[in-house]
């Protein structure tokens, strides 16, 4: 199973409601979630990627149950155009284990509806345990999030987990 399929399975196992994908790129999880969740939104830094995703959604999901925005994760708390989400999902977004991950967790935590969940799927060219896993789990613990690893969606080079902020 590829990383996008793993992420989509985790998301749809959690909700059929509102989903925000961070770092979606030009297609992201949209083909896997369209029609399976009530609302799909995406946030990506690249105007080219968001334009491509908007075009795909316009063609394949004309029901308007989606929204695509150009911007950075750090701007999430000020984004009034994005609906609070039942699930926020990110695939291969390193903001959660490099730089200042506490800021990324705070931004996501503020965007989740009460009881909402963060889904992270990270895939690396090298075995994941070497560097990504310890850094991510330490960042989650430091930020005060409870997490569950999903080894069935992971692999030797992939880490898949769900996390919730502890109140």
For residue 16, how far is the Cα from the chain centroid?
15
- Separation of alpha carbons 95 and 103, rounded Å: 9
Positive or negative, the Cα torsion across 29, 30, 31, 33? positive
Which pLDDT score is estimated for 113?
96
Please report, for residues 116, 119, 143, the alpha-carbon distance to residue 108 in angstroms, rounded to integers and kept in the order given: 10, 11, 11
Q: How do residues 144-158 score in pLDDT, each as one tens digit?
A: 999 999 988 866 678
Which pLDDT score is estimated for 130?
67
Which pLDDT score is estimated for 8?
97
Positive or negative, the Cα torsion across 28, 31, 33, 39? positive
Which pLDDT score is estimated for 111?
96
Please report, for residues 57, 63, 127, the alpha-carbon distance to residue 22 in angstroms, rounded to integers and kept in the order given: 16, 21, 24
Which pLDDT score is estimated for 5?
94
Which pLDDT score is estimated for 127?
62
Closest of 50, 52, 107, 54 to residue 84, by C-alpha: 107
Q: How do residues 29-54 score in pLDDT, each as one tens digit?
A: 999 998 899 999 999 999 999 999 99
The residues of the chain scoring below 70 in pLDDT are 126-130, 154-156, 167
Q: How many Cβ atoms sit within 10 Å of the Cβ of residue 24?
A: 26
């Amino acid at each position: 199973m590829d990383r996008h399929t793993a992420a989509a399975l985790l998301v749809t196992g959690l909700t059929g409601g509102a989903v925000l994908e961070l770092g979606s790129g030009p297609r992201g999880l949209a083909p896997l979630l369209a029609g399976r969740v009530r609302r799909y939104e995406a946030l990506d830094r690249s105007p080219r990627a968001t334009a491509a995703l908007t075009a795909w959604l316009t063609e394949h999901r004309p029901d308007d149950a989606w929204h695509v925005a150009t911007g950075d994760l750090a701007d999430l708390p000020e984004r009034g155009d994005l609906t609070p989400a039942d699930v926020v999902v990110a695939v291969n977004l390193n903001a959660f284990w490099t730089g200042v991950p506490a800021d990324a967790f705070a931004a996501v935590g503020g965007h989740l509806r009460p009881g909402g969940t963060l889904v992270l799927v990270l895939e690396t060219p090298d075995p994941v345990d070497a560097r990504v896993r310890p850094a991510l789990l330490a960042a989650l613990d430091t930020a005060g999030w409870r997490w569950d690893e999903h080894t069935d969606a992971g692999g030797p080079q992939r880490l898949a987990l769900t996390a919730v902020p502890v109140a």
